[in-house]
Amino acid sequence: MLEEATVGRLLQQAREEKGLSREALARELQLSLRHLEAIEGDEWAALSPGRARPLARQLAERLGVDLESHTGAFQIVPGQVALEPADPRRERLERLVMGVLSAASVLVVLWLVVPGPSLGRKPTVSRLGALPRLSPPPPPPPSSAPYPVLGELLPEAPIDEQGILVSLRVMDACTARLEPEGGAPQARALQVSEPWRLRVKGSFSLVLDNAGVVNVEVAGRRIAHGQSVGQVWTGRFDATGRWLRPVAPELPEEPVVTDDDEEGGQP
């Protein structure tokens, strides 16, 4: 019976059949010439641990050598890990353990989801069942406050016992001065991030030094003062918050000139 050739001998024969020198093959595969000589000489101990089998497969793929058909020769190359034969008893034990774990998982899920009586436990009698059922509370009485809105924040009343609501919002810096009739004046430097809201009793005057950037609301009504940026505006309001606009002065009537007057006036 002929002895099967070694892996190194098979690779050497394949290289020689293709007419390749060791130097050319080592240069093509970027492999050390010393390592190639060790592989063809089956000197596997000269290679680094774990490199013998990968290098042998690389050379076999380049030279067209089927190592699967030479399993006996390839088995002697260092690095092969022998597989343990399958143990039927161990496989049955593993299947049994997996089945037990699966069943336990299903029971845990049922215990968490399904109510207690469905798992065989006796239902507990609730003491709340013996108590009389309470009727729902009566609806709240209608609100007498101004602008009642169900389920929403109630807006402030334009006029209440504390006075008229004045709201100033600015888009730029402005100084506002509020002068109530018969009371102490109030002044404030308005900023963009902070509106000025206050209540005033009785008639009052409002002075703005940069009226074009101020949004004025008095008694819930927006005051369109029509001033531009940088202009000063003074507004007077009565005790109900009505804006007392200045009355334009009346112009004198021009005399009507007739034809008789024109003729009489000629020399």
Structure tokens at 55: 């290098």
Neighbours of 169 (CB within 10 A): 15
Q: Which residue has the higher pLDDT, 96 or 68?
A: 96
Model confidence band, residue 15 (pLDDT cutoffs 50, 70, 90): confident
- According to CATH, the topology of domain 7-74 is 434 Repressor (Amino-terminal Domain) (1.10.260)
What does the alpha-carbon distance between residue 178 and residue 185 come to, in Å, rounded to a whole number? 6
The pTM (predicted TM-score) of the whole model is 0.38
Considering only CA atoms, which of 17, 15, 35 is closest in space to residue 25?
A: 15
Considering only CA atoms, which of 177, 175, 167 is closest in space to residue 223?
A: 167
How far is Cα of residue 3 from the mean position of the Cα atoms in its chain?
A: 72
- Tell me the average pLDDT across 96-112: 89
Instruction: State the number of CA atoms in the 13 A half-sphere of 80 facing the CB.
Output: 14
- Tell me the average pLDDT across 151-171: 78
Using one digit for the tens of pLDDT, what is the confidence trace for 133-153? 677 777 766 655 555 544 444
Residues 6+ apart with CB under 8 A from 56: 7, 11, 39, 67, 74, 77
Domain boundaries, the chain: 7-74, 159-237
Considering only CA atoms, which of 263, 227, 219 is closest in space to residue 243?
A: 219
In 80-126, where does DSSP find H-type helix? 88-113
Using one digit for the tens of pLDDT, what is the confidence trace for 219-260? 888 998 888 888 898 989 998 888 988 765 555 666 655 555
Q: Kindly compute the dihedral angle of the four CA atoms of residues 189, 194, 199, 200, in this order, to the nearest 10 degrees.
A: 20
**pLDDT score recorded for residue 267:** 46
Q: Position of tokens 């990968």?
A: 54
3-state secondary structure of 199: strand
